[in-house]
Amino acid sequence: MCYIAIVILPIVQAGDPVLRAPARPLSLEEIQSTAIQQLIADMRETMRAAPGVGLAAPQVGLGLQLAVIEDAPEYHANATPAELAERERQVVPFHVIINPVLTLEAGEPVEFFEGCLSVDGWMALVARAVAVRVEALDENGRDVRITARGWHARILQHEIDHLHGTLCVDRMDPRTLSSHANYSKLWRGRSVTEVRAGLHALK
C-alpha cells in the first residue's frame, strides 16, 4: 500500500477533553482503509520523533482504540544493566494494538517512575501489574494475543489506559511527582525504597 508523506502529528496535552473520553473501536473495514493505515504510519514516526515507547490515538486528538508501541534498543543506552534487569526491560519491536482487551495477571503491583508524552516534562511513581495478557487486532485486522512482563507490560497498561480516558497521573503517587530535570538530578538510579525514604525525610 502506498502512503502519502509521513506527518509528525501534534501530541495533545493534559487538559484536552479527548484524553478523558473513552475511545471507540475500529471496524475491520476502517482498519484496512488508507486513512487508518496512514494514521498508523504517522503515529509510528510521531512516537519515534518524540521520542517515546508508545502512543495512543487520543494523544494525537483522535478517539480511536488504536495504539503503537516500540521500545527500541537506543532507548536502553542510558540505563544501567541493573536498571534494565530491575524493570525487566527488553527490546520490544514495533507493533500495533487495536480494540485491545487487557487482563492483569495475579501478583503484587510494582512501582517505577513513569512519564507520558501528554503530560510533558513530568514523572511520578506509578504502580502497575508485573504481567499482562492482551487480546487485540493488529494493523491488518488480524487477531493477536500478547503475553508481556516487566516494562512491556507497563507500556501496554499505560497505552490501553489512554483508550479508556485514563492518564498515568490518575494512578500516580502524587507526592512523587517530579520534573524530568529533578528526576535526572535526584532520583535516577535510586531504588523505589530509596526514593520513598528520601521523600519521607522531607516531611
Contact between residue 12 and residue 60 where contact means Cβ atoms under 8 Å apart: yes
Judge whether 159 counts as a catalytic residue.
Answer: yes
Grid cell of 48 as nine digits:
519515534
The strands making up 131-137's β-sheet, listed across from edge to edge, are 54-56, 66-71, 92-104, 131-137, 143-149
168-177: b (≥16 Cβ within 10 Å) or e: bbebbeeebe
Q: Which residues contact 105 (CB under 8 A, 6 or more apart)?
A: 129, 130, 131, 132, 133
Catalytic residue among 70, 114, 139, 159: 159
Q: Show the 3-state SS of 38-93.
A: HHHHHHHHHHHHCCCCEEEHHHHCCCECEEEEEECHHHHCCCCHHHHHHCCCCCEE
Contact between residue 56 and residue 165 where contact means Cβ atoms under 8 Å apart: no
Which residues are marked as active site?
159
